[in-house]
Amino acid sequence: MPRPSKPVDTSTFTGQIGARIRARRERLKLTVPEAAERTGSNDQTWYSWERGRHLPLERLPAIAEALSCKVRALIPD
């Protein structure tokens, strides 16, 4: 059974990125385990990224590749 999604605090820059990561993953109909596997991370790490917590910006290229998008698509305007 999938883990329930916790709300994302979009008042922060990383929270806005996290919300975009989650939206993109859901649009692609990927589960968290599938997305995490694509980056070589674990489920807990991916959940943290989606909440904008512990989101190392140097991981954005790998996250974008896992989500079949450009890094720019994950960065808020």
Give me the CATH number covering residue 22: 1.10.260.40
What pLDDT is recorded for position 9?
78
What are the structure tokens assigned to 50, written together?
């989606």
pLDDT on residue 5: 65
Tell me the average confidence (pLDDT) per consecutive run of 10 residues in the chain, 77 residues long: 68 93 97 97 96 92 98 95
Let me know if residue 61 belongs to a domain: yes
Residue 22 domain flag: yes
pTM of the model: 0.88
Rounded Cα gap, residues 68 and 6, in angstroms: 24
Total number of domains constituting the chain: 1
Give the per-residue pLDDT at 58: 94
CB 17 within 8 A of CB 75: yes
49 found inside a domain: yes
Q: What separation, in Å, do the N-terminal and C-terminal C-alpha atoms of the chain show?
A: 35
Domain assignment present for 2: no
Question: Which domain covers residue 39, as residue numbers?
Answer: 13-74
Angstrom distance (rounded) from CA 36 to CA 17? 16
Does residue 67 lie in a domain region? yes
